[in-house]
Amino acid sequence: MGREMETSRHRRIGQRWALLAVLEFVAGGVVLGGAALVYFSTDSTGMSLGIVHAILGLMAYPAGYLLSSGNARARTITVGVDAAIVAFSTSSEVILSNTSSLPSGPFADSVIGTAVAVLIAALIVYQLMRARPQLPAERPSSVK
């Protein structure tokens, strides 16, 4: 029974990491969509923000891959990338609203995309910063 419980727990932990990897890929796609600022922006500030969005979106893909492959440094890298996504996306929306770099239609789309990306990235950071799930300690072989 102990071995089955341990295997089931390993499977649940593996499923959690796989789900986080998929969410990381989704967050990367949403942030990469922020590269549309290059096209829709009316000034160089918005274009610069769009380029940084593209870079951050592309950085999320290797982080998601590392999560799915079980790399030892995946947690650290993913938390760093997602924290940067949350901080930059939020501050870029503030900059865009203060500089009027986008017309009203694309600005509304930008706010929605930023909200989705920030929520997903924050959820990933929260899940990765939670206490690591640990397997129950095995009983000594003399105790049955």
pLDDT of residue 7: 64
Distance CA 64, CA 20 (A): 8
- One digit per residue, the tens of pLDDT, for the chain of length 144 reads 556 555 665 666 678 888 999 999 999 999 998 888 888 888 899 899 999 999 999 999 999 999 988 888 889 999 999 999 999 999 999 998 899 888 888 888 889 999 999 999 999 999 998 856 443 445 455 555
pTM value is 0.80
Domain limits, the chain:
2-129
Query: Which long-range contacts link 104-112 to residues 24+ away (Cβ below 8 Å)?
Result: 106/36, 106/40, 110/34, 110/37
Give the count of beta carbons closer than 10 Å to the beta carbon of residue 126. Answer: 11
pLDDT tens digits along 98-120 = 998 888 888 888 899 999 999 99
